[in-house]
Amino acid sequence: MSGSKMVVQALIDQGVDTVFGYPGGAVLPIYDEIFQQNSIKHFLVRHEQGAVHAAEAYARSTGKPGVVLVTSGPGATNAVTGLTDALMDSIPVVVLTGQVPTFMIGSDAFQEADTVGITRPCTKHNWLVKDTDALAHTLHSAFHVASSGRPGPVLVDIPKDVQFANGTYEGPAKMKSHYQPKLKGDLEAITALVAAMEVAQKPIFYTGGGVINSGPIASQLLRELVAATNFPITSTLMGLGSYPGNGDNWLGMLGMHGLYEANMAMHDCDLMINIGARFDDRITGRLDAFSPGSTKAHIDIDASSINKVIHVDIPILGDVAHVLEDILKVWKARGRKTNSKALKTWWGEIDDWRKIRCLDYATDSKVIKPQYALERLEALTKDHDRYITTEVGQHQMWAAQYMTFNDPNRWMTSGGLGTMGYGVPASIGAQVAHPGSLVINVAGEASWLMNMQEMGTAMQYGLPVKQFILNNERLGMVRQWQELLHGERYSQSWSESLPDFVKLAEAFGAKGILCSDPADLDEAIMEMLAYDGPVIFDCLVEKHENCFPMIPSGKAHNEMLLGDAAIKGAIDASGSVLV
């Protein structure tokens, strides 16, 4: 079998039916094979970065690895941002790149790049295949590595002569790998955690993307555990939806722009149970003031995440679903105990924090407040079978705060890398995976422009993605930091010379909607939802709104800013060096 045929066969054998890609000289034999088959549908993006983000959202919303096919040189380098994004957020993506023929490697051939060298630090693993006989095994290994353990992006670089040459194909069953991450947690540690849970007076579950990566069963077990113990629960940006946003024990998102009650509960708790999160700096705030009085447990499948920045007392290495199952078993076997009297007091404290109503904002009858826009979007779409993607900036944080995610795999956002330009291609990937569902990209105008070429992809494949742009004519999040940190000197944070988004939509053949009056908003959103095709919704919002609550850089969880009145001198010199 030829190498290029093997590529297609391996994808089929891995259960792949969708590939995002872009052709070029070094992958022509593979594209020729794609032309001659019907099992795999190829989606032609407009930029390779878009292919990777689309594949990420495909993966995030289905639980299956996303697959990308691009050419050598610029095709591969364009994929680097997507790979880094997927690495930071632990998203399983398999990227196949073409390479110049083996006998030309190292000669600075046309469109030659050291792809495995360039992508080594931004993939979980990568391979350069020099022999067609090794190709099938490598491809199957790539899928295994991408989706086992802590998931992540992998890349297989395939020189053109390897694609043309004949070799022996082997199926996935023959794949051998010493890479077999441990799924079950240590029972002794689990028992120690359960014992701590039984007596804890102020416990909290702090959950992250790992719950979602562990699969729907993990979310189900988490819900069972929360209901059984009546502990409060918060989540990182990446973990939204693993516990329902309308659930009784939900405190809302935590972290830099997290809810007051969530951050205060994290600060004051006496038992913190981290499930599949990684103590990221957006979460912890000032490290030496991070939850000073608590015993900390950490469930993670990646040993390097444990004790990386925060010392934990009860480390549990394993897969979230497996560990949660054992926690429930042990907890039940030991008599289903919690310190219910103390818990009642704890909930009382939490309810007092809730009374602050940290998400309240000054409403306006003339100008659309971005928070209001999202509240209305939420109200009018919450009963839909809905997937939300975002770009990066204030709008992203507002979407996390004002929209409700009741199920896992419904929320696609760039967390770790914070990649502007993620949302448009991600909405395409999610829509490809869920053709009949409502897919909305909550965007900022600046981010949206970064990968807007992908509207062409949406048009070509009839993907009715809704681009909901909160247009503040500002790099809003940058502007907010300049206001707080740099004496209101707004250096380069204006979005100048913006296109007319309605005409732009029409130029693509999509529908454009402009809305600037709060009174028209509901009707305009309904018009967007009613339209059977891609929509670009230009929602003109208040230009100077800041995103609150906010833990300023270098501050602790209990030093949150709740509104504009508090921002003067909020960040000191040591905080201003932080990102």
Partner 1 sequence: MNALNITKGTSSKSAYNLRSGHADLNERHTLAVLVANEPGVLARVIGLFSGRGYNIESLTVAEVDHQGHTSRITIVTSGTPQIIEQIKAQLGRIIPVYDVHDLTVEGPSVERELSLFKVSGKGEKRVEALRLADVFRANVVDSTLDSFTFEVVGSPEKIDAFAELVRPLGLSEMARTGVAALSRG
Ligand X SMILES: Cc1ncc(C[n+]2csc(CCOP(=O)(O)OP(=O)(O)O)c2C)c(N)n1
Using DSSP's 3-state secondary structure scheme, residue 340 falls into helix
Beta partners for 95?
68, 155
Beta partners for 514?
538
Binding residue for Mg ion, selected from 82, 98, 255, 444, defined by CB under 5 A = 444
The least CB distance from residue 309 to partner 1, in Å, is 6
Which C-beta is closer to ligand X: that of 458 or that of 475? 475
Indicate whether 451 belongs to the interface with ligand X (CB under 6 A). Answer: no
Indicate whether 394 belongs to the interface with ligand X (CB under 6 A). Answer: yes
**What is the DSSP code string of 554-576?**
T--TTS-B-SGGG-TT-S-HHHH
Can you tell me the distance from the alpha carbon of 114 to that of 352, in angstroms, rounded to the nearest whole number? 57
Near ligand X by CB under 6 A, which window of 32-40, 134-142, 242-250, 416-424?
416-424
Element (H, E) at 99: strand 93-99
Which C-beta is closer to partner 1: that of 306 or that of 535? 306
Three-point CA angle 153, 578, 492, nearest 5°: 85
For residue 122, what are the contacts with CB-CB under 8 A and spacing of at least 6? 80, 83, 84, 87, 153
Cα-based distances in Å from 332 to 182, 185, 194, 456: 24, 17, 10, 54
What sign does the CA torsion over 114, 116, 117, 122 have? Answer: positive
Using DSSP's 3-state secondary structure scheme, residue 59 falls into helix
Q: Which does 477 bind (CB under 5 to 8 A by kind): Mg ion, partner 1, ligand X, none?
A: ligand X
Which C-beta is closer to Mg ion: that of 476 or that of 549? 476
E-assigned strand segments in 100-243: 125-128, 153-159, 203-207, 233-235
Just list the catalytic residues. Answer: 48, 110-111, 160, 477
Indicate whether 67 belongs to the interface with ligand X (CB under 6 A). Answer: no
Cα-based distances in Å from 45 to 41, 101, 461, 464, 470: 13, 25, 10, 15, 25
Indicate whether 391 belongs to the interface with ligand X (CB under 6 A). Answer: yes
Q: Which does 295 bind (CB under 5 to 8 A by kind): Mg ion, ligand X, partner 1, none?
A: partner 1
Indicate whether 139 belongs to the interface with partner 1 (CB under 8 A). Answer: no
Binding residue for ligand X, selected from 446, 455, 463, 525, defined by CB under 6 A = 446
Indicate whether 47 belongs to the interface with ligand X (CB under 6 A). Answer: no
Binding residue for partner 1, selected from 30, 237, 277, 312, defined by CB under 8 A = 312
The least CB distance from residue 212 to partner 1, in Å, is 20
Which C-beta is closer to Mg ion: that of 70 or that of 426? 426
Which C-beta is closer to ligand X: that of 82 or that of 185? 82
Under rule CB under 6 A, how many of the chain's residues touch ligand X? 20
Can you tell me the distance from the alpha carbon of 23 to that of 72, in angstroms, rounded to the nearest whole number? 9
Indicate whether 444 belongs to the interface with ligand X (CB under 6 A). Answer: yes
- Interacting positions 452-491 with Mg ion (CB under 5 A): 472, 474, 476
Can you tell me the distance from the alpha carbon of 557 to that of 267, in angstroms, rounded to the nearest whole number? 6
Contact indicator for 91, 66 with CB cutoff of 8 Å: yes
The least CB distance from residue 140 to partner 1, in Å, is 14
Indicate whether 24 belongs to the interface with Mg ion (CB under 5 A). Answer: no
Which C-beta is closer to Mg ion: that of 376 or that of 474? 474
Binding residue for ligand X, selected from 47, 278, 395, 410, defined by CB under 6 A = 395
Contact indicator for 482, 492 with CB cutoff of 8 Å: no
Give how far the C-alpha of residue 425 lies from the chain's centroid of Cα atoms, to the nearest Å.
Answer: 13
Q: Which does 72 bind (CB under 5 to 8 A by kind): partner 1, ligand X, Mg ion, none?
A: none
Q: Which does 566 bind (CB under 5 to 8 A by kind): Mg ion, partner 1, ligand X, none?
A: none
- Interacting positions 466-505 with ligand X (CB under 6 A): 470, 472, 474-478
| Structural tokens at position 467 | 């681009």
Binding residue for partner 1, selected from 37, 110, 120, 334, defined by CB under 8 A = 120
Indicate whether 124 belongs to the interface with partner 1 (CB under 8 A). Answer: yes
Binding residue for partner 1, selected from 53, 267, 278, 296, defined by CB under 8 A = 296
Cα-based distances in Å from 445 to 111, 393, 450, 501: 33, 10, 9, 9
Q: Which residue is nearest to Mg ion (CB)?
A: 444
Label the pairing between strands 438-444 and 411-412.
unpaired
Binding residue for ligand X, selected from 148, 381, 419, 441, defined by CB under 6 A = 419
Can you tell me the distance from the alpha carbon of 217 to that of 324, in angstroms, rounded to the nearest whole number? 10
Which C-beta is closer to Mg ion: that of 208 or that of 444? 444
Can you tell me the distance from the alpha carbon of 348 to that of 328, in angstroms, rounded to the nearest whole number? 26
Contacting positions for partner 1 (CB under 8 A): 116-117, 120-121, 124-125, 128, 145, 178-179, 270, 284, 287-296, 302-304, 306-313
Contacting positions for ligand X (CB under 6 A): 391-395, 418-421, 444-447, 470, 472, 474-478
Contacting positions for Mg ion (CB under 5 A): 444-446, 472, 474, 476
